[in-house]
Structure 1
């Protein structure tokens, strides 16, 4: 085993280090020099390597809805043996640059199988070909189309960049008649100051660095990120009143881990329900480790339980 840098030598257990090492093995020394297409090939290969396959009894259907700049592809997951109990609208991670319907396929299928909810994954436009607000516009259009076509409770969920989009959609719809029943954000990028807090203490964390986040933000913005724009930076909002019940799951060893507590505190101060759960010893992207790392498996169980509870109108806090 290679020498582990402090404090991660004690925070991260052997199972999680094995996941980190297996992930790193998909990236060669020249990975940072690759163009966006090359980065996508590597990321897609990484996701395939950790794909667990769909559970039995889950039917899948690809479709599309009209979006502001053309069709938005969707993938729906349904339990074939029972009527759905609710809907989960899922926004995938990948820094707004990577990922798609295949990258989070088994994750969405497992959420469906466990909750009994229909899970709909959104293939929003990616940067840098499509700059902000393209990702937000697609995320919002998908919510409005799906929520408007069903009377079932709808929970927003997403990881990393997808958590950002879910939070932005919750903010944009906070005064609408059609609102999500809740939101579950998994190690979300909510837009805290990159020069402070955990962006300093975990600047060089395994799996995601502060420099990575700065690059993703710049690619999404097409330059300097905007200020005061909650559709880009949910923590830039001037009010948190009206946001749905919120669960945030953060990884302890992640520069983004400081975003969740701040976001949840602002929601509760505005009279809402919000809870942040920090998952000890875990790293960014740990959903891919849910079948190989006990800590990640336990966290995924809590995430799925939280989604199910919010869809039933129960507060799991």
Structure 2
């Protein structure tokens, strides 16, 4: 039986009132990496949003910028959970990272959150910023990865802003399939009871879950995505969202827009913030950094052409 919208909205709002992420002193917090933090307010068509800038040691001037969109099932508001990856990218790639505190559902439902993220991206791409907005990448984990994919799709359809790379870390990309139907042998189950709440709060009308911005890995989206920003897709072997991300990676590969598919063995959803070994997280983060740096060094990466040869689909 589907969960009623009023109940999903109520649970989502209660969850938002919960405490934020505690200060993470684990070895995957990367607290030893230097970062200068600044808070900014960014105007969007759906109201102002706050964002935290992670500035590299060299400063922002003349350097590239990366937009980060946090996870949380489209309903939770804890951008601080992405402090480790933002800190890592800023320090290792030498770019400014914009960690966005976007408005969650039910306060802002699809496609509003994607439009808000697009407006933030346009703000970051502006020549008015300290950094070089023409050298822009975007990414996110879980729901944040889905929003990043949506921004890349709108940028393709609307002729900009130019995005050199999209980083999609275990994203939900097909909301036409209920979470319980995604649970198979060897898959973890903690997202199964949460899926109906997240999906209903984010997209209450079931028919709208087939929209290209919500389910680009779903069967209804058959439009060409040729020319979309090149992508790195990262999946976890035990994640119930793995198969839809793989389908989207295949779709990207078909138009020459897949830089790498990293399929991490033995892990599930949220592995990089839920206590995976440091060496595993470092390997994944280093791959992300490598692609961000490469996209900055090779300005033609935003032409949608992937590296020659078959997609690199390796276990991490």
Q: TM-score, normalised by structure 2?
A: 0.79
> Which of 67, 76, 86 lines up with 1:89 in the alignment?
67
In structure 2, the residue matched to 1:189 is 172
- Secondary structure in 2 matching 1:283: coil
Task: Quickly say closer, same or farther: Cα 1:56–1:294, change in 2 above 3 A.
Answer: closer
Cα pair 2:121 2:161 within 8 Å, conserved: no
In structure 1, the residue matched to 2:184 is 201
In structure 2, the residue matched to 1:13 is none
Task: Quickly say closer, same or farther: Cα 1:190–1:183, change in 2 above 3 A.
Answer: same
Per the TM alignment, residue 48 of structure 1 is displaced from its structure 2 partner at its CA by: 4.9
- Could you report, residue by residue, the CA deviation over 1:259-310 in whole angstroms, capped at 9, with x for unpaired residues? 2221121122234334321100011111214774433332222222233223
More off after superposition, 124-133 vs 144-153: 144-153
Question: Does residue 61 of structure 1 match 2:43?
Answer: no
* CA distance in structure 1 between the aligned counterparts of 2:122 and 2:154, rounded to whole angstroms: 11
Question: Does residue 231 of structure 1 match 2:209?
Answer: no
Structure with the larger helix share? 1
* CA distance in structure 2 between the aligned counterparts of 1:197 and 1:129, rounded to whole angstroms: 25
Question: Does residue 258 of structure 1 match 2:243?
Answer: yes
In structure 2, the residue matched to 1:121 is 99
Question: Does residue 286 of structure 1 match 2:286?
Answer: no
Per the TM alignment, residue 215 of structure 1 is displaced from its structure 2 partner at its CA by: 2.1
* CA distance in structure 2 between the aligned counterparts of 1:308 and 1:97, rounded to whole angstroms: 31
- Could you report, residue by residue, the CA deviation over 1:39-68 in whole angstroms, capped at 9, with x for unpaired residues? 345562467576826445311110111111
Gap regions ≥5 residues in structure 2? 1-7
Task: Quickly say closer, same or farther: Cα 1:35–1:151, change in 2 above 3 A.
Answer: closer
Q: Aligned residues, how many?
A: 284
In structure 1, the residue matched to 2:197 is 215
Q: TM-score, normalised by structure 1?
A: 0.79
Task: Quickly say closer, same or farther: Cα 1:218–1:143, change in 2 above 3 A.
Answer: same
In structure 2, the residue matched to 1:275 is 260
- Secondary structure in 1 matching 2:80: coil
> Which of 136, 147, 151 lines up with 1:165 in the alignment?
147
Cα pair 2:171 2:241 within 8 Å, conserved: yes
Question: Does residue 312 of structure 1 match 2:297?
Answer: yes
Gap regions ≥5 residues in structure 1? 1-31
* CA distance in structure 2 between the aligned counterparts of 1:284 and 1:198, rounded to whole angstroms: 16
